[in-house]
Amino acid sequence: MHRPGAQVCGTSSAMTFLHRLQWNDSSVLIHPPGFYIIGFTSLPFANLYFIFLAFVYVVSVVFNIFVIYIIMVDHRLHNPKFMAVGNLAVVDLVLNTCIIPGMLKAFLAKNNFVPFNLCMVQMYVYYSFISMESFSIAVLAYDRMIAICFPLRHGSINTMTSMSCILGVIWCFCLGIQIFSAAIMTRLSYCDSVNVYSYFCDYAPVFRLACNDNTLQWAVASVLSLVILLGPLSFIILSYMSILIAVFRMKSVESRVKALATCTEHLILVAVFFFPVLIIFMVGLLARIKPDPDLRVLSLSLASCIPPCLNPIVYSLKTKEIKSKVLTMFRRIKVQVVND
């Protein structure tokens, strides 16, 4: 393992030299060969946690591919709602693939060195797809709002074409804005340290290592955090306010219960994705006692890795159309096994 502690003297002297070089010539940009990911330094039973993450990754890959496959092969699911569900499954698959294998390599396989360019790529991919995750959950809220608030016009408002355009805009926005945020990281000089205290090449822990002005990077991180989290969450809240108004206008209790029941799986996704992240950031802002760094890294890693694993399971178990397709597939397999 590339351990920072084993190279303290060499790294310290190199950083001192680079810092003096940056001080003498501010136009020189210092990019180290790479960074050391050093989260979970004092976490007890850390190996068990990483084995658990390996299990989470396998489940995430299997279930997301399964959901994508079912949506592709069943023509009855070729509608705007399941286009959005399939999009979420693709995003979940890429998101966990971007994070968990790298964590296993760094902390379980004892190889925590990440080359500089690979670090920038991982940062870009992670934040692009965590942004898409947030917006994709908001798109599913839009689908429920149109279905419940405009039941007679649902088919004409929420078409395959309109859903394709919405998802295309989200992909272009998320991939485009993160190109800018990753590009400005290359305008920093990293001559103070190369130790990133996180579970991957995280944006804020990396730009805090810079020895020149990082005001722009801090501002971009703050603004994008608000846009990526609070923007979609605000839309989801407004959507459900509209849904509740429409539901309470319905005359029969049975119709109200049936309408709200269609929102169950989506509300679970909202709770699983948004609540842990908001709680972590609120505790960080409001708590008088500074939380343990390892506990914060653990909480953030769980908040990043668990939703992409749970999302396809929730839709497999709670969505009638997918559940019926799964049961049909198992019946066919059972019949084939009996016949053989």
Please, are residues 130 and 157 in contact by the beta-carbon 8 Å criterion? no
Q: Is the pLDDT of residue 124 over 50?
A: yes
- Reported as a single tens digit per residue, the pLDDT across 192-240 is 788 998 899 999 889 889 888 889 999 998 899 889 999 999 999 999 9
The Cα 65–Cα 63 span in angstroms is 5
What is the structure's pLDDT at 15?
52
In this prediction, residues 7-20 reach a mean pLDDT of 48
Confidence of residue 23 (pLDDT cuts 50, 70, 90): very low
Q: Is the pLDDT of residue 1 over 70?
A: no
CA distances from 123 to 207, 318, 333 (A): 11, 33, 42
CA-angle at 87, arms to 122 and 98, nearest 5°: 15
The Cα 42–Cα 242 span in angstroms is 47
Q: Which of 42-51, 84-93, 168-177 has the least mean pLDDT?
A: 42-51
In this prediction, residues 56-81 reach a mean pLDDT of 91
In this prediction, residues 288-313 reach a mean pLDDT of 81
Report DSSP letters for 176-228, one per residue.
HHHHHHHHGGGGS---S--EE-SSS--HHHHHTT-SS--HHHHHHHHHHHIII
Averaged pLDDT of the chain: 85
In this prediction, residues 131-138 reach a mean pLDDT of 95
CA-angle at 122, arms to 299 and 22, nearest 5°: 100
Q: What is the pTM of this model?
A: 0.86
